[in-house]
């Protein structure tokens, strides 16, 4: 939810921190701050609002230093105020924190009794005082951090500096991502690589319970028992270009348009293998997938809707039972475990707390067959799973997920086909046909993108509305759900999705001339049923906005507007039909003048409950 960056160098690190925070802003954006060490002092600049406001204040104060930390916040404990913004400080110690400290109230009471005064309502401030408390006991900064974190319950990624130790920063990680960036004579820390990619691509991913000391000269990492450990160095493939807007107005627009490329990249391994094979999901693919008797999918948000599409595919293609559940629900109910089930978590970020906890819970129930569909290499959820399918969407910055969704669908389709093959339900001819369909998918998606001008015209009619209804049936019902989610997330229009057949059981009561009804109506076996549902809307004066395929025989008429996507692409149709609903939400938001990439109250990576 929050973003952390830190740097130590023999140049001014303030521009590095600010640049990094701007790239991390998608993680949370209600306040931002930096703390630097110089002339034996901690200087802090904090502002509510966007990083740019904090940057202006830092410029005005002419803040410069060779050691510093920075933070973008998404408020959990305590409102959006400057006092609650990070870095938090205690007597010359300053720190930034991502995560939640569950026992902060007990710690606060204890520290107050020890004489510490609190300036904020955050859970984070206790950590600053706790570290200072141990420094007072004579420990050095690293030892004080190591001692303090042992008393914290909850999740944290921390970066800490002290005015008394201007030659290093110390960091800790538990439950939230944190990586160290290795430069030449300068080193960095960040919650994700995008923050530091302008300086280095060489990274070390810290593991749960690790602490580390970062100086200009090097990095020392310590395991949960505080003993030195070696962690592998990786070369990140995140490119600077992928983090920049280029000719686009918004990252969301850029990411919508990147889908043919993202899908193409994600397909590469399947096309290269020219087969659906367990090895697509990892070295242990055969071992884990063999004998699977059912699938349980766990995810949140858009990823949950990808899972909802997959349920139709998995049951129809492989014949295996499949359930999909919102991770935050699954993790707190008494679920019945079946070790023969494959547990699939889907997460763009790989760090959504509810999804991670649902996975842990599934494992605690005896589920050993685990697969993660994820877009961020080395993130927590794939690392906790036996199998991984990495979508190759590239960095997704817009808070509303787009290219991650369609590439997740590619991975899930490959899973359905692979399970079908393992169960003798996919003959060679059908397998070849599916691969051929996949090969054509980027082209079909591009055709759907070409509809943008027509969709933009529809969006102008949506912009003044307060409500919208989305309808779909079968495998396209989750696309209606995703369309409604996109619209509400970024345009703030209240939108709901229903299976078209359910209309008469309630939502029809809402239909009048002011309620636009979007219908996903591809040329599949359910088109005639969907048409009847549309009649129900028309009969009540509702206005219909229908996305159908070029080769369907559905015609526009009074009150019924039609946009034709490319020719029906068969089983992959939900992927193609996602594009128009993304574009509709994007252009509606544009007309309404909302902050498309950073919608109010939301964040990209939700690492809190
Ligand atoms: C947040 C994002 C959504 C995303 C959801 C799940 O709500 O704004 O776009 O779908 O989290 O995130 P994940 O990274 O697990 O896919």
Structurally, the chain folds into a number of domains equal to 3
Residue 2 pLDDT exceeds 90:
no
Position 175 scores a pLDDT of 82
C-alpha span between 103 and 127 (Å, rounded): 11
Ligand 1 centroid, distance to 604 Cα (angstroms): 6
- The verdict on 216 and 256 lying in the same domain is no
If asked whether residues 222 and 290 sit together in one domain, one would say no
Q: Are residues 347 and 490 in the same domain?
A: no
pLDDT of residue 516: 94
Among 138, 196, 147, CA closest to 172:
147
Is a pLDDT exceeding 80 seen at residue 609?
no
Q: Which of 421, 488, 598, 604 is catalytic?
A: 604
Residue nearest to atom 5 of ligand 1 (CA): 301
Q: What distance in Å separates the CA atoms of residue 443 and residue 580, rounded to the nearest whole number?
A: 15
Ligand 1 pocket, mutate which of 2, 302, 377 (most atoms under 8 A from CB): 302
- Looking at the structure, do residues 434 and 461 belong to the same domain, yes or no? no
Say if residues 8 and 187 touch (Cβ distance below 8 Å): yes
Query: If residue 527 lies in a helix (H) or strand (E), which one and from where to where?
Result: helix 527-539
Which residue's C-alpha comes closest to atom 2 of ligand 1? 604
300 lines ligand 1 (CB under 6 A): yes
pTM for the model:
0.89
- Which of 445, 480, 500 is the endpoint of a domain? 445
pLDDT band for 608, please (50, 70, 90 cuts): confident
Q: Are residues 361 and 293 in the same domain?
A: yes
Distance 400 CA to ligand 1 centre (A): 8
Residues 215 and 256 in one domain: no
Catalytic residue among 2, 176, 322, 374: 2
Which of 2, 29, 177, 301 should be mutated for ligand 1, with most atoms under 8 A from CB?
301
pLDDT of residue 422: 97
Torsion of CA 359, 149, 206, 165, to 10 degrees: 160
257 and 115 housed in the same domain: no
Q: How far does the centroid of ligand 1 lie from the alpha carbon of residue 150, in Å?
A: 30
Whole-number Å distance, alpha carbon 476 to ligand 1 midpoint, is: 20
Gap from CA of 223 to ligand 1 centroid (Å): 30
* Res. 419: pLDDT tops 80: yes
What are the tokens at 134?
Answer: 């141990």
Dihedral Cα 431, 437, 442, 447, nearest 10 deg: -170
- CA of 553 from ligand 1 middle (Å) equals 37
Question: What is the rounded average pLDDT of the residues 44-54?
Answer: 95
Alpha helix locations (H) across 274-402? 285-289, 301-313, 327-330, 353-364, 380-383
Which residues have CB under 8 Å from 494's CB, separation 6+?
466, 467, 468, 488
H and E: helices and strands count for the chain: 18, 25
Residue 294 to residue 176: CA distance in whole angstroms: 31
How far apart are the C-alpha atoms of 349 and 193, rounded to whole Å?
A: 12
Closest atom of ligand 1 to 603 CA is 8
Tell me the longest C-alpha to C-alpha distance in the chain: 80
Determine the Cα–Cα distance for residues 607 and 4; give it in Å rounded to an integer. 13
pLDDT of residue 380: 86
Ligand 1 nearest-atom number relative to CA 376: 14
pLDDT digits (tens, 9 = 90+) for 262-320: 999 999 999 999 999 999 999 999 999 999 999 999 999 999 999 999 999 999 999 99
Same domain, 436 and 513: no
- Are 380 and 416 part of one and the same domain? yes
Q: Is residue 600 a part of any domain in this protein?
A: no
Of 208, 243, 278, which marks where a domain is finished?
Answer: 243
608 part of a folded domain:
no
In-domain check, residue 601: no
**Chosen domain end from 418, 445, 472:** 445
604 assigned to some structural domain: no
Average pLDDT, the chain: 95
Query: Does 126 share its domain with 257?
Result: no
> 2 catalytic, yes or no?
yes
Domain that holds residue 466: 452-592
Give the rounded percent of residues in the chain with a pLDDT score beyond 90.
Answer: 83
580-594 confidence digits (pLDDT tens): 999 999 999 999 999
The tens digit of pLDDT for each residue in 539-578 reads 888 999 999 999 998 889 999 999 999 889 999 999 999 9
Residue 548: strand pairing partners: 521, 564
Same domain, 108 and 196: yes
Assigned domain for 599 exists: no
Give the distance (Å) from ligand 1 centre to CA of residue 442: 24
Q: What is the mean pLDDT of residues 341-360?
A: 95
Give the tens place of pLDDT for each residue, 69-102.
999 988 877 888 999 999 999 999 999 999 889 9
Q: Angle at CA 91, nearest 5°, toward 80 and 137?
A: 125
Q: Is the CB of 379 under 6 A from ligand 1?
A: no
Token representation of residue 164: 């008394």
C-alpha count within 13 angstroms, C-beta hemisphere, residue 372: 27
Flag whether 109 is in a domain: yes
CB 582 less than 6 A from any atom of ligand 1: no
- 349: Cβ below 6 Å to ligand 1? yes
Ligand 1 pocket test, candidate residues 28, 395, 406, 604, most atoms within 8 A of CB: 604
Q: What CATH number is attached to the domain comprising 403? A: 3.40.50.10490
322 is an active site residue: no
Same domain for 222 and 334? no
Handedness of CA 184, 189, 192, 198 (dihedral sign): negative
The tens digit of pLDDT for each residue in 120-164 reads 999 999 999 999 999 999 999 999 999 999 999 988 999 999 999
Range with lowest mean pLDDT among 46-55, 77-86, 203-212, 302-311: 77-86
**605 within some domain:** no
Best of 191, 300, 324 for a ligand 1 pocket test (most atoms within 8 Å of beta carbon): 300
Inside any domain, residue 602: no
Rounded to 5 degrees, φ, ψ at 519 are: -125, 130
CATH classification at residue 236? 3.60.20.10
d(CA 127, CA 94): 10
């Amino acid at each position: 939810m929050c973003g952390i960056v830190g740097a130590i160098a023999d140049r001014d690190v303030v521009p590095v921190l600010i640049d990094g925070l701007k790239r991390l802003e998608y993680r949370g954006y209600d306040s931002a701050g930096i703390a630097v060490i110089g002339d034996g002092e901690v200087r802090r600049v904090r502002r509510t609002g966007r990083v740019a406001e904090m940057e202006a204040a830092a410029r005005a104060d002419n803040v410069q230093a060779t050691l510093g930390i920075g933070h973008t916040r998404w408020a959990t404990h305590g409102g959006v105020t400057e006092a609650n913004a990070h870095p938090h400080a205690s007597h010359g110690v300053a720190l930034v924190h991502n995560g939640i400290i569950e026992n902060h109230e007990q710690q606060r009471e204890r520290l107050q009794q020890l004489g510490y005064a609190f300036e904020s309502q955050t859970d984070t401030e206790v950590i600053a005082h706790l570290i200072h408390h141990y420094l007072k006991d004579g420990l050095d900064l690293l030892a004080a951090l190591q001692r303090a974190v042992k008393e914290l319950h909850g999740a944290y990624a921390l970066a800490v500096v002290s005015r008394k130790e201007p030659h290093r920063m110390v960091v800790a990680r538990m439950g939230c991502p944190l990586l160290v960036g290795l430069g030449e004579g300068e080193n960095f820390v960040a919650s994700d690589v995008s923050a530091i990619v302008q300086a280095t691509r060489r990274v070390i991913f810290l593991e749960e319970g690790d602490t580390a000391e970062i100086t200009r000269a090097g990095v020392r990492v310590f395991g949960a028992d505080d003993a030195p450990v070696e962690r592998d160095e990786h070369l990140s493939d995140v490119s600077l270009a992928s983090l920049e807007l280029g000719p686009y107005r918004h990252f969301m627009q850029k990411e919508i348009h990147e889908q043919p490329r993202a899908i193409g990249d994600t397909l590469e391994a399947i096309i290269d293998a020219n087969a659906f094979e367990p090895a697509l999901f990892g070295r242990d693919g055969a071992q884990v997938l063999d004998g699977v008797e059912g699938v349980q999918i766990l995810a949140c948000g858009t990823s949950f809707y990808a899972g909802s599409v997959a349920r139709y595919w998995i049951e129809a293609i492989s014949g295996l039972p499949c359930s999909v559940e919102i991770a935050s629900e699954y993790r707190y109910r008494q679920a019945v475990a079946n070790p023969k089930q494959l547990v699939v978590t889907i997460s763009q970020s790989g760090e959504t707390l509810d999804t991670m906890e649902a996975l842990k819970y599934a494992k605690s129930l005896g589920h050993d067959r685990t697969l993660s569909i994820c877009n961020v290499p080395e993130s927590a959820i794939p690392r906790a799973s036996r199998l991984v399918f990495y979508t190759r969407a590239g960095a997704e910055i817009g808070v509303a997920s787009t290219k991650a969704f369609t590439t997740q669908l590619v991975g899930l389709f490959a899973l359905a086909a692979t399970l079908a093959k393992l169960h003798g339900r996919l003959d060679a001819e059908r397998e070849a046909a599916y691969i051929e369909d996949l090969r054509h998918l980027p082209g079909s998606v591009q055709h759907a993108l070409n509809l943008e001008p027509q969709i933009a015209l529809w969006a102008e009619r949506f912009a003044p509305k307060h409500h919208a209804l989305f309808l779909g049936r079968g495998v396209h019902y989750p696309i209606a759900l995703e369309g409604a989610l996109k619209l509400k997330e970024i345009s703030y229009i209240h939108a709901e999705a229903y299976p078209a057949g359910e209309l008469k059981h309630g939502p029809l009561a809402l239909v009048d001339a002011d309620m636009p009804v979007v219908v996903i109506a591809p040329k599949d076996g359910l088109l005639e049923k969907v048409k009847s549902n549309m009649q129900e809307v028309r009969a009540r004066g509702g206005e219909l906005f229908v996305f159908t395929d070029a080769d369907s025989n559905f015609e526009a008429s009074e009150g019924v507007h039609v946009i034709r996507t490319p020719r029906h692409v068969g089983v992959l149709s939900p992927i193609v039909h996602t594009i128009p609903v993304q574009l509709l939400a994007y252009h509606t938001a544009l007309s309404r003048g909302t902050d498309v990439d950073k919608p109010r109250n939301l964040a990209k990576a939700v690492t809190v409950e």
